[in-house]
Structure 1
């Protein structure tokens, strides 16, 4: 670890000198998480050097840089939750922890020569399409840039979402979001409250319970939990993975198809639902005795409607004398605690495990077309992108981890690599044809979104009786996750097909035709 830190420090000291002095690049990538780094690495491997990565923080890693809370770990197996083109034979365990995943991304950025292309502390403030120059103008906290193409790789889990609870601003004691963990905070001897029981909450609660004098978990709805089948990889196993890479690839393939086989649960198919429900029910019954506590921890919606979580120590935590589960509902936050329908709970600190702005992506409020309309404003039906990658009215722009690119079952890295293939295919087509501008037609985008909506209609996400961040409830649409198998995403959104796009002068011609039609009307 020390050697890696020294390497990182050396790279940090030299990257400013190595970075091209020009503020223009062929490709500007926004974000340096798995998506942004993955695309940057592939561009470098192809011999492309005319690109920049704009990162708002001071280090690479995205969500795995930011989420440093106690117990942070992945819930997808590490050999699958990593680049297929950069396997790691040395994963320490089945489910890697946050520090290990972050180290993997740091190492990738350094080894692949991406670091000199990154401008850190460069938060995107505004990006506007300039039709005359056929390029994007980007304003950031690190200065102004222009680019022929922009790729947003900010992700769904990048901007914390605060709960809409009256009086939250009144609380005058330590309070922070799980993705903005205050490492100076010591829970020892304190009365700590946790709002939320999602993916972050179930990892944080067992850790806080070890030190807090009293821990109160405020739960709006109970999550489904299944066992975490985890173990450390032995030195012998890691040696085999290193010396025989085909064994690691075989494991990756097995994990991929195992996750793919879970998708029928999301379709609400009775036999698949019954099987996974039994697994979750048995897990709860094995860890929590019958009674009021088990009843509170029992979900009241169809499994899969919300994210299915994995944990072996969350349920047992509530059997501790210093832990309480509060489900009566929050009325308001006070200066000294939380008022519930059962009375006030006094607290010394409050941790918000309330997720992220996943449906209304904040970055879309900072991307503007030539008329000054933000991408968020253009989405009158909620997040919408053709092949989950391009948006009508926003030429030469690609989205990674945008609308309908999340997963309810499987590894997001597979989706990311599919989108990388798509973007590189589009760039290749532009080079081969000499085209300077590419834009998806509105008709093609609408048809694609209609097909996504049709597939989403019979899934548990829309019919499971829950309220989740997968659905944009302003429009009642499933906008966050892909409502089909992963391999179908690769087939439909992983191979660039130019037929539905307009290139170069066709855009202006079509605009003139629309204006003429308006005059005729």
Structure 2
């Protein structure tokens, strides 16, 4: 690393993405960076999503950093409190605390072409300068609550699963659950035995496969801690499974049909009543929408007082939810399990690049970025978990690690050219985007509507290849795809 001056890196967000970049910078000997976090603590989605039953649907050994293995996981599929503790330990053990600015939201970021710097404005009005901007706010940070007629007239509490009201006692309450996404599939069985009645409003039934969870025993943790390679072998096995499964979504969709059989068998075993089983059957190809893992969701409907409603919602009333058939379903509480605004990347930030270009305008017809990270006209800005970097199968932490290493290598290049900036070439970005859309055209994700696609139907979130391919393509930055901006070029 150049002893002259380290470029200062501004990281926005302290979830898995932001911590990955910060930790990799620190490990590379780079100490000039700041992590801006709008909340009072780190953790991203694992700080915000505290609903009952919240857990990861990727086994713990793969849903963690390779440079920070955790031998003390309690379960194969870690629950939210344990994942949050893991992230906090990563911050402490990598000595990142002094780089944190908590309770500091970034409202806007503007690139100064003459100075080749980014100027960030905080929620309190302060202006901070940085050489490199790394937005790491993720795809699943902004909850979506549907604009249902009459919602403001409802007499009881109504909240999104990502903003769970833990002060509310659900005992003896009639609960309306709107949405059947990943969060709902976890919290519905977790609260089913607490409530008086529960009506789950389903617009589209998800494909659900068994979740082979288990508690790790003391001998597991002993092996993970003391036997060389024990944890790595487990991680490799999970990685191999997801790599094979991912091909069933893109180039080998016959594999997907095997998972359809698994999901169908799971539903038949757990839902004995034929009318209900038919109502819970998906109407889309497996993988088109997110495949969910649960061994508790279907049995929840066998409990007294829990029922499924497939009718379209017409409006919310003061006393509940009315469907299009005119039936009013009484409710004391409404809980939304309606997911996040995933395709509107960086929607909470006002970002202006070279020549006054606004990122929201550049992305008006769909978000796109070179390797999911770099956007022409926005020099020295590298987006974490950006367009076309989500996985239909696998661990996004693996992708985030790849991106973090890539960003660190670019920062090290910049350190050798003090005052320089890297701007990805439009041709390189366009070639990459054309490749992505060509490969995605035949993927399962184009066969139905889902949060993987934007309003125009473009698959803007998902990566069409494997985790291995992404790691390989981000291993070494190709500077031929960038213009190096210096004082003589601006």
Q: TM-score, normalised by structure 2?
A: 0.96
| Aligned residue in 2 for 1:487 | 468
Tell me the SS of whatever aligns to 1:200: helix
Offset from partner CA, 1:10-51 (integer Å, 9 cap, x none): xxxxxxxxxxxxxx9710000000110111111112222211
Offset from partner CA, 1:95-133 (integer Å, 9 cap, x none): 000000000001111121101110001111111111122
| Aligned residue in 1 for 2:90 | 108
Q: Are residue 187 (structure 1) and residue 185 (structure 2) matched?
A: no
Offset from partner CA, 1:139-195 (integer Å, 9 cap, x none): 112532110111010001111111132222322310111101111011100111111
| Aligned residue in 2 for 1:358 | 342
Contact 2:8 2:131 in 1 (8 A): yes
| RMSD over aligned Cα atoms | 1.6
**2:78 counterpart (74, 86, 96):** 96
Offset from partner CA, 1:279-312 (integer Å, 9 cap, x none): 0000000011142111110001100001110111
TM-fit CA distance, 1:495: 2.6
| Aligned residue in 2 for 1:10 | none
TM-fit CA distance, 1:272: 1.1
Q: 1:135 to 1:506 in 2, by over 3 A?
A: closer
Tell me the SS of whatever aligns to 1:256: helix
Contact 2:440 2:459 in 1 (8 A): yes
| Aligned residue in 1 for 2:33 | 51
**2:201 counterpart (206, 218, 222):** 218
TM-fit CA distance, 1:435: 5.8
Give 1 or 2: higher helix fraction. Answer: 1
Q: Are residue 414 (structure 1) and residue 398 (structure 2) matched?
A: yes
| Aligned residue in 1 for 2:289 | 306
Counterpart CA distance in 2 for 1:92 and 1:337 is 40
Tell me the SS of whatever aligns to 1:471: coil
| Aligned residue in 1 for 2:113 | 131
Counterpart CA distance in 2 for 1:404 and 1:410 is 14
TM-fit CA distance, 1:424: 1.1
TM-fit CA distance, 1:506: 8.9
Tell me the SS of whatever aligns to 2:248: helix
Q: Are residue 27 (structure 1) and residue 20 (structure 2) matched?
A: no
Offset from partner CA, 1:463-487 (integer Å, 9 cap, x none): 2xx3210011x22211111011111
Counterpart CA distance in 2 for 1:307 and 1:440 is 32
Indicate the structure whose relative CO is greater, using CA pairs within 8 Å and at least 6 residues apart. Answer: 2
**1:338 counterpart (280, 303, 321):** 321
Q: 1:507 to 1:414 in 2, by over 3 A?
A: farther
Q: Are residue 146 (structure 1) and residue 146 (structure 2) matched?
A: no
TM-fit CA distance, 1:268: 6.8
Q: Are residue 321 (structure 1) and residue 304 (structure 2) matched?
A: yes
Contact 1:209 1:215 in 2 (8 A): yes
Counterpart CA distance in 1 for 2:247 and 2:296 is 28
Structure 1: gaps spanning 5 or more residues: 1-23, 510-521
Contact 1:365 1:375 in 2 (8 A): no
| Aligned residue in 2 for 1:512 | none
Tell me the SS of whatever aligns to 1:350: strand
Counterpart CA distance in 2 for 1:270 and 1:44 is 41
| Aligned residue in 2 for 1:176 | 159
Trace 1:52-67 onto structure 2 (pairs within 5 A): 52-67=34-49
Contact 1:25 1:52 in 2 (8 A): no
Counterpart CA distance in 2 for 1:170 and 1:438 is 52
Contact 1:382 1:477 in 2 (8 A): yes
TM-fit CA distance, 1:233: 1.0
TM-fit CA distance, 1:270: 4.9
Contact 2:107 2:349 in 1 (8 A): no
Counterpart CA distance in 1 for 2:105 and 2:405 is 26
Structure 2: gaps spanning 5 or more residues: 1-5
Counterpart CA distance in 2 for 1:368 and 1:182 is 36
Aligned pair count reads 483
| Aligned residue in 1 for 2:53 | 71
